[in-house]
């Protein structure tokens, strides 16, 4: 497996040139785009085995991949039924930060929890008296899912997100004006910006994916962190909405639940088999890791991971 992953990483580095880093966020524009790494947590009867190659320990901003974690938390804090009164479950077909995502099927709620408007609603539903309490809860849960107590917010990325987050601010105030969210908009957005600025590596994402693959149970200590029904809902939405407006093509060609982020990360989960984490900061026009997508597609084909086959 190590040889396979090393070969796939080297082979797919050729696609890095076809994209670029997320230069609209100043802190992310400084990242070296010539990086690519992968980690796999493979479930076994006795626990797990880990495999990796390339830049799998390089830390990067989790960005939209964090939306998987906060969706799980919101459903656990309330209930899936309550959460999906506030957001939809449908792909939008629009860019992830478009206000048009609020007006699908004549519903004045965001079309799904993985676009920015939906993720802001999700963050507003997480219990906590203010942004500090919320982000501490998000961090603690992320650390448990990744089995990594050193995960924290990257302060430079957070301040960069906050300075340039005018579109997200407009979405937040629009949501408040439509009575979709309650509470202080700036406080909710502060927690959201911090959520997106959490620093992780591909191995962290692979571990989070393995918990989802294992029906909410950590393969390293056998502790149940997520109810099974919430795992099922989360993986279903990852299939249909996890890769922005490229989700349909991704489902056809790769066929595993996944969520990407403009920091270059991809979190993928293969039910009952493995969690996968990929890092490649060179992005395509949709905001997905250009080499990472190619790498995951080839891995899925080689290991026969497509859940629809």
Q: What is the C-alpha to C-alpha distance for residues 111 and 113, in angstroms, rounded to an integer? A: 7
Q: Phi/psi at 31 (nearest 5 deg)?
A: -70, 140
Tell me if residue 150 falls in helix, strand or coil: coil
Q: What is the C-alpha to C-alpha distance for residues 230 and 55, in angstroms, rounded to an integer? A: 31
**288 in a labelled binding site:** no
Q: Which residue in 33, 67, 144, 194 is the catalytic one?
A: 67
Residue 270 annotated among the catalytic residues of the structure: no
**174 in a labelled binding site:** no
Q: Which residue in 15, 42, 192, 279 is the catalytic one?
A: 192
Q: What is the C-alpha to C-alpha distance for residues 157 and 136, in angstroms, rounded to an integer? A: 17
Residue 98 annotated among the catalytic residues of the structure: no
**116 in a labelled binding site:** yes
Q: Which residue in 51, 56, 158, 244 is the catalytic one?
A: 244
Rounded (10°) angle between helices 116-125 and 185-196: 110
282, 20 contact by CB (below 8 A): yes
Residues in Cβ contact with 130 at an 8 Å cutoff, skipping those fewer than 6 apart: 187
CB crowding 184-212: b at 16 or more within 10 Å, else e: ebebbbbbbbbbbbbbbbbbbbbbbbbbb
**168 in a labelled binding site:** yes
**End-to-end Cα spacing for the chain:** 22
Residue 244 annotated among the catalytic residues of the structure: yes
How many residues are given for the chain? 309
Structure tokens given for 47: 């626990």
Residue 235 annotated among the catalytic residues of the structure: no
**23 in a labelled binding site:** no
**306 in a labelled binding site:** no
H/E stretch holding 48 reads strand 47-54
Residue 252 annotated among the catalytic residues of the structure: no
The two beta strands, 47-54 and 152-153, are unpaired
Q: Which residue in 153, 200, 262, 270 is the catalytic one?
A: 262
> What stretches of 107-261 adopt beta strand conformation (E)?
152-153, 198-200, 258-260
**64 in a labelled binding site:** yes
Residues in Cβ contact with 84 at an 8 Å cutoff, skipping those fewer than 6 apart: none
Cite the annotated binding site for substrate by residue number. 64, 116, 161, 168, 192, 244, 262
Question: Which positions make up the binding site?
Answer: 64, 116, 161, 168, 192, 244, 262
Residues annotated as part of the active site: 64, 67, 192, 244, 262
């Amino acid at each position: 497996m190590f040889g396979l992953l090393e070969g796939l990483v080297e082979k797919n580095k050729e696609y890095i040139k076809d994209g670029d880093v997320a230069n609209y966020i100043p802190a992310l524009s400084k990242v070296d785009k010539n990086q690519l790494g992968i980690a796999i947590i493979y479930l076994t009867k006795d626990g797990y085995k880990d495999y990796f190659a390339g830049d799998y320990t390089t830390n990067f901003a989790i960005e939209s991949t964090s939306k998987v974690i906060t969706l799980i938390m919101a459903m656990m804090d309330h209930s899936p039924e309550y959460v999906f009164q506030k957001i939809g479950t449908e792909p939008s077909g629009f860019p992830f930060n478009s206000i048009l995502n609020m007006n699908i099927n004549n519903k004045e709620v965001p079309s799904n929890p993985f676009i920015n408007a939906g993720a802001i609603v999700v963050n507003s539903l997480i219990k906590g008296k203010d942004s500090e309490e919320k982000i501490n809860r998000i961090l603690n849960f992320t650390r448990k899912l990744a089995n990594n107590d050193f995960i924290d917010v990257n302060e430079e990325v957070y301040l960069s997100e906050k300075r340039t987050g005018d579109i997200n601010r407009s979405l937040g105030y629009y949501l408040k004006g439509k009575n979709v969210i309650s509470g202080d908009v700036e406080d909710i957005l502060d927690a959201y910006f911090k959520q997106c600025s959490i620093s992780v590596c591909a191995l962290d994402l692979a571990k989070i994916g393995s918990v989802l693959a294992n029906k909410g149970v950590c393969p390293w200590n056998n502790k149940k962190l997520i109810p099974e029904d919430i795992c099922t809902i989360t993986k279903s939405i990852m299939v249909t909405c996890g890769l922005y407006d490229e989700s349909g093509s991704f489902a056809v060609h790769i066929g595993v639940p996944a969520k990407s982020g403009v920091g270059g990360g991809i979190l993928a989960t293969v039910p009952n088999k493995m969690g996968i984490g990929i890092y490649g900061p060179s992005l395509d026009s949709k905001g997905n890791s250009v080499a990472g997508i190619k790498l995951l597609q080839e891995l899925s084909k080689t290991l026969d991971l497509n859940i629809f086959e």
